[in-house]
Amino acid sequence: PFLNSLGLKGPSEKAIEGAIKEWQQKTCIRFVPRTDQKDYVQFFDGGFSKCWSYVGRIGGMQKISIGFGCFTQGVVVHEIGHALGFYHEQSRPDRDNYVEIVWSNIKEENKHNFEKYNHGVIDSLGVPYDYGSIMHYGKRDFAKWPWQTTIKVKKSGASIGQRSHLSALDAKQMNLFYNCKTKV
């Protein structure tokens, strides 16, 4: 279940509706408006705290911040991905085979976003590393200076950081994660 807090209108509301629709079209995940369910996702205006969500089901009210700069469908798809259990793609245990994190270029307060987790935290369920994942940061995200690279790709020509749509591998992994029986 989900609840759109008061105050999220216009572009924010459209982004939320579009993001929910995309998850429902490409996966077995279904969202219903909240009535009296104990566990639910609550979208709220995070103001300058930007865009964020806890990873995975935490129980009770699960907040998704749609703050300043988060008014696009792709960003909301990304944040819903966190609420559904996805970490950032560049946090996978096997990430060093695909990307190099340039720690010296990352703002100190954002380094936690680039942590690598072990297999006990992230299980990719056999889905290959996805440069095109909506959960992957871009090559300059959280850089100290706008021209600095924070993530170098090891595959020639690979592009990272798209925020337009779920990739085919995002959808596949989510369907495996939730043990979907039917193909979407």
What is the overall mean pLDDT for the chain?
A: 93
78 marked as part of a ligand binding site: yes
Secondary structure class of 16 (helix, strand, coil): helix
User: Alpha-carbon distance 68 to 28, whole Å?
Assistant: 30
Structural domain boundaries in the chain: 2-84, 89-178
Q: Where are the beta strands (DSSP E) in the chain?
A: 2-4, 40-44, 51-53, 61-66, 99-101, 151-153
Pick one of 2.40.50.100, 3.40.390.10, 3.40.50.2300, 3.40.50.300 as the CATH number of 89-178. 3.40.390.10
Average pLDDT over residues 164-172: 97
Indicate if 108 belongs to the active site. no
pLDDT digits (tens, 9 = 90+) for 16-64: 999 999 999 999 999 998 889 999 999 988 888 789 999 999 999 999 9
Please report the sign of the dihedral spanned by the C-alpha atoms of residue 130, residue 134, residue 140, residue 141: negative
Asked if pLDDT for residue 95 goes beyond 60, the answer is yes
Give helix 11-26 / helix 168-177 axis angle, nearest 10°.
70
Tell me whether domains 2-84 and 89-178 share a fold. Answer: yes
Q: In this structure, what token pair is assigned to residue 75?
A: 């960003």
In 3D space, the residue among 133, 184, 122 whose CA is nearest the CA of residue 159 turns out to be: 133
Task: Report, at the CATH architecture level, how domain 2-84 is classified.
Answer: 3-Layer(aba) Sandwich (3.40)
Q: In this structure, what token pair is assigned to residue 14?
A: 């459209």
**Among 79, 89, 108, 109, which one carries the catalytic annotation?**
79
Residues 48 and 67 sit within 8 Å (Cβ to Cβ):
yes
User: Alpha-carbon distance 106 to 138, whole Å?
Assistant: 12
Average pLDDT over residues 104-125: 96
Dmax (CA) for the chain in angstroms is 50
- Whole-model pTM? 0.93
Residues 42 and 64 sit within 8 Å (Cβ to Cβ):
yes
User: Alpha-carbon distance 64 to 86, whole Å?
Assistant: 14
Work out whether strand 40-44 and strand 61-66 pair parallel, antiparallel, or are unpaired.
parallel
112 marked as part of a ligand binding site: no
88 marked as part of a ligand binding site: yes
